[in-house]
């Protein structure tokens, strides 16, 4: 039996290319969506074994789509196949329960193997990314009313960081200096006991900050 996949990407040429890729493979594309809202609807209707999803989509994006599916009690495994490889996107995907996150430079053979693995209950993350997503943040529990270890300003910086903004962009968004942002980020990493921005983003999503 083929592995059934719903493909969600806003580029028709990419979707057509993937259909051609999988024409003679154990993968069957059972539906296509061009935005997150449509993807959610089709997952509910078609119940594919895997949702192959782009991160940035018009309207409801890929991360919002996964959050909505989980809120609706739908546990269809999600594999992000994306041109947007900012590690904070991967961090948010991981925290939301994605089964994998691969760049669009991934080969046909690697993508096919990843889909098959995920349909069987496994995961597929590049080894370097998996290492960055591991650590205290990956298993953190909700604060459940306990005060955050961060100051109000650090919370604001962390929210922006978790959405993929650079230090320069955070400075512009919050109206503070670049050096001040750098200092806040250093304090955030130390207080959360995490190694880098990616792990901090995982923590932020798990705490409902992003």
Better-scored residue on pLDDT, 136 or 192 = 192
Please tell me the predicted confidence (pLDDT) of residue 164: 81
C-alpha 36: how far from chain center = 13
Q: What is the pLDDT of residue 12?
A: 96
Is the pLDDT higher at 91 or at 166? 166
How far is 75 from 71, CA to CA, in rounded Å? 10
Identify the pLDDT of residue 207.
Answer: 81
pLDDT at 108: 94
- Considering only 55-59, 99-103, 147-151, which range has the smallest mean pLDDT? 147-151
Instruction: For residue 85, report the phi and psi dihedrals to the nearest 5 degrees.
Output: -105, 20
For residues 25-36, average pLDDT: 96
Bridge partners, 57 (sequence order): none
Say what the pLDDT of residue 182 is. 97
pLDDT in tens, 115-133: 999 999 999 998 777 776 7
Six token digits for residue 168: 């320069």
Eight-class DSSP state of 138: G
Q: Rounded distance, CA 131 to CA 208, Å? A: 23
Residues 6+ apart with CB under 8 A from 200: 91, 137, 158, 161, 162, 185, 188, 189, 192, 194
Rounded to whole angstroms, the Cα distance separating 91 from 195 reads 13
Q: What are the tens digits of pLDDT across the range 131-146?
A: 767 655 544 444 444 4
What pTM, to 2 d.p., does this model score? 0.78
- Structural domains in the chain plus CATH codes: 3-133 (3.40.50.2300), 137-206 (1.10.10.10)
pLDDT given for residue 118 in this prediction:
98
- Top pLDDT among 93 and 44 is at 44
Length of the chain: 210
3 state SS of 8: strand
């Amino acid at each position: 039996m083929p592995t059934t996949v719903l493909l969600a990407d806003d580029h028709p040429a990419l979707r057509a290319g993937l259909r051609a890729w999988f024409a003679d493979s154990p993968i069957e594309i059972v539906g296509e969506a061009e935005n997150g809202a449509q993807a959610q609807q089709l997952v509910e209707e078609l119940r594919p074994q895997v949702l192959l999803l782009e991160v940035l989509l018009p309207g409801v994006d890929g991360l919002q789509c996964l959050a909505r599916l989980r809120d609706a009690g739908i546990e269809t495994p999600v594999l992000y196949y994306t041109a947007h490889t900012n590690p904070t996107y991967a961090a948010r995907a991981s925290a939301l329960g994605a089964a994998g996150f691969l760049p669009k430079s991934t080969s046909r053979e690697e993508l096919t193997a990843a889909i098959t693995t995920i349909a069987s209950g496994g995961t597929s993350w590049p080894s370097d990314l998996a290492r960055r997503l591991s650590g205290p943040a990956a298993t953190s529990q909700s604060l459940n009313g306990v005060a955050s270890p961060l100051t109000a300003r650090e919370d604001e910086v962390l929210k922006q960081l978790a959405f993929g903004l650079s230090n320069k962009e955070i400075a512009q968004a919050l109206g503070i200096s670049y050096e001040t942002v750098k200092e806040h980020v250093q304090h955030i990493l130390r207080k959360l006991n995490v190694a880098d921005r990616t792990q901090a983003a995982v923590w932020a999503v798990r705490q409902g900050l992003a």
